[in-house]
Structure 1
Amino acid sequence: MAEIDGTIGNGNHGGVVLDIKDDRPPPSSNLTKEDSDLYFSVPFMQKLVAEIVGTYFLIFAGCSSVAVNLNFEKVVTHPGISIVWGLAVMVLVYSLGHISGAHFNPAVTLAFATCKRFPWKQVPAYVACQVIGSTLAAGTIRLIFQGKQDHFTGTLPAGSDLQSFVVEFIITFYLMFVISGVATDNRAIGELAGLAVGSTVLLNVMFAGPISGASMNPARSLGPAIVSHEYRGIWIYMVAPVLGAQAGAWVYNLIRYTDKPLREITKSASFLKSKA
């Protein structure tokens, strides 16, 4: 497979720029070609679609396992739910990582941006697409499981808000620390990124699920909350994962020092880089 360059404004990507024939400077003349291509390039739209689709299938698979477990006598079990989340992440990283970077998580997108591994101007679009994908998935699940089968598949604190906040911070720190290691350091085996990240999600859900729901992802919690109008403790899942991801990325950057050059990743912070 050919490598997909995440640079916006590269002419090889077929970016579309408005052609203004007027001799007078247009009102938007202060925008660079890169800024214009951000909104009109086909590759960027492909990344946004990939984030919507990827987030949709991640939330649909994970939350469906929760719904099935609640409706059919715990047939999936908690370990089974953990496996579903981990496998879903792994499969989607391998299938969409080379297109959009396989973020599917606003906390991950923001962490990459603060570490200058993802362009800030793409952050709002990425986050919006992640929330859209999550909301659509939660809506689909509610259409499938109606009446007595309509259970809330979002995340709620099982104990105190502080307990869940601390747990969400720690597990998201752990997740982003692993992502930073396998996705941005040339000493890691990049081909195993999907396996490493998926396994981390599986482990986190296994032990933290009964405490906080093991969200690690603001979009994962917000989508079901919007569909079910259930916002208890939602601030925990908006704040703790973002702070945890920031801390995880920055701590890894502090300990990663090496004389060797870092892996050149695309501006979409892709987990995987396919070679031509």
Structure 2
Amino acid sequence: MAEESQAARGRFDRWFEAEVIQPMTDFQDGKQEWRRLVSEFLGTFFLVLVAAGGGMMGEAFPDTIDRGAAVVAPGLMVLAIILFMGKVSGAHLNPAVTLAFSLRGDFPWRRVPGYIIVQLAGAALAAWFLTLVIGVSSSFGSNYPADGYSDWSAFTMETVLTFGLVSVILGTASGAQNIGIIGAIGVGSYIALAGLWGSPISGASMNPARTFGPDLVAGDFTGYWVYIAGPILGAVIAVGAAFVLRGYGGGRAGSDAAQGVLHTEVQNPDKA
């Protein structure tokens, strides 16, 4: 009995080391990095296609798209993107989310520049495509502080909204809620709800890449600092709140959600 108990303990220790202590093993495989970058590029492209497209379509066809539809559509798109590519790259789609996962200890810092570059590129391509097809300025699909409100008011709104968004993302990237329908519904629903009530003041961007693409193509970066500083500060606050609620990150569940799980070899403790 003692030998069996010791053997069982050894199997558990090997499983624990593989699944908990070393959660980033799969992500160290450089052969998979290009897939993750392509995934982030495509995901951000489709997000901005819908997010910026709502405003631009509304300008081209004033009687067909109202504000409610324009702000709910990005939430539905994010839900779909998480489901179809969440396990490839983690479906960050947002530099603030990438930074939050890294601060949380779930995502390697050396991968951050590549993710942010392809997110910005995907957003810019989407804005250019919309301008080409719809024939209106991409500024109609961007985010700017509302008339009568200061940049600081919009900054505060973006900070609070992003704090909520990243809190939902980090929360649904934990334990049993890791990757899949729960996270997709939670994040998509939050984006839609935040847009419904928060968009009149700041546009409810919550994403530096989402605003960067239309601004770059339109050549108008008015108030853009709001959409960098607000989301980043909100993400940092959310990471602090996650520590208070759940302690340190870096566990298997959070890392799988942040990085994707391509070619992960799951070890069964009974067969190790």
Tell whether 2:109 aligns with 1:90: no
Q: Look up the match of 1:55.
A: 44
Quick check: 1:237 aligned with 2:224? no
Aligned to 2:162: 172
Q: CA deviation at 1:7?
A: 2.8
Q: Which residue of 2 aligns with 1:150?
A: 137
1:78 matched to 2:67 = yes
> How far apart, in 2, do the equivalents of 1:169 and 1:9 lie?
32
CA distance in 2, matches of 1:245, 1:251: 10
Aligned residue identity for 2:185: L
Partner of 2:106: 117
On the 8 A contact 2:40/2:89 being kept in 1, the answer is yes
Q: Deviations over 1:73-105 (max 9, x none)?
A: 242111111220110110001111000000010
* 8 Å Cα contact 1:193-1:271 kept in structure 2: no
Q: 2:152 aligns with which of 155, 162, 174?
A: 162
- 1:20-35 residue pairs with structure 2 within 5 A? none
8 A Cα contact 1:6 1:266, kept in partner: no
Equivalent residue, structure 2, for 1:207: 197
Identity of aligned residues (%): 32
CA distance in 2, matches of 1:219, 1:190: 23
Q: Distance in 2 between matches of 1:45 and 1:150?
A: 32
Distance of 1:129 and 1:141 partners within structure 2: 18
Task: Specify the alignment match of 1:186 in structure 2.
Answer: 175
Aligned partners of 1:274 and 1:211: how far apart in 2? 44
Runs of 4+ in 1 over 6 A off after TM superposition: 271-276
Structure 1 residues 253 and 8: alpha-carbon distance in aligned structure 2, compared to 1, 3 A threshold: same
Extract unaligned runs of 5+ from structure 1.
Answer: 11-40
Segment of structure 1 superposing worse, 128-137 or 68-77:
68-77
- Is the Cα–Cα contact under 8 Å of residues 88 and 261 in structure 2 kept in the other structure? no
Matched, 1:227 2:217: yes
Q: 1:70 deviation in Å? A: 1.8
Name 2:185's counterpart in structure 1.
195
> 2:165·2:190 contact (CA, 8 Å) conserved in 1?
yes
Question: 1:103 aligned to 2:92?
Answer: yes
Secondary structure of the structure 1 residue equivalent to 2:253: coil
Query: What letter is aligned with 1:75?
Result: T
Contact map agreement 1:118 1:268 (CA 8 A) in 2: no
Number of aligned positions between the proteins? 238
Report the aligned-residue RMSD: 2.5
Deviations 1:170-198 (A, max 9, x none): 00000000111101x21547531001000
For residue 122 of structure 2, give the secondary structure of its aligned residue in structure 1. helix
Counterpart residue identity of residue 78, structure 1: R
Relative contact order (alpha carbons < 8 A, sep ≥ 6): 1 or 2 greater? 2
Q: Return the alpha-carbon distance in structure 2 between the equivalents of residues 87 and 103 of structure 1.
A: 15
1:7 — aligned with what? 26
Deviations 1:184-235 (A, max 9, x none): x215475310010000000111111111011100001111111100011001
Distance across 1 between alignment mates of 2:107 and 2:66: 37
Is the contact between residue 138 and residue 215 of structure 2 (CA under 8 Å) also seen in structure 1? Answer: no
- Counterparts of 2:263 and 2:86, CA distance in 1: 9
Is the 2:127–2:217 contact (alpha carbons within 8 Å) kept by the matching residues of 1?
A: yes
2:119 aligned partner, one-letter code:
Q
TM-score, normalised on structure 2? 0.81
Aligned counterparts of 1:211 and 1:117: Cα–Cα separation in 2: 33
Q: Deviations over 1:139-163 (max 9, x none)?
A: 00111122xx335111100011111
Question: Which secondary structure does the structure 2 equivalent of 1:234 belong to?
Answer: coil
Structure 2: state its 5+ residue gaps: 1-23, 267-272
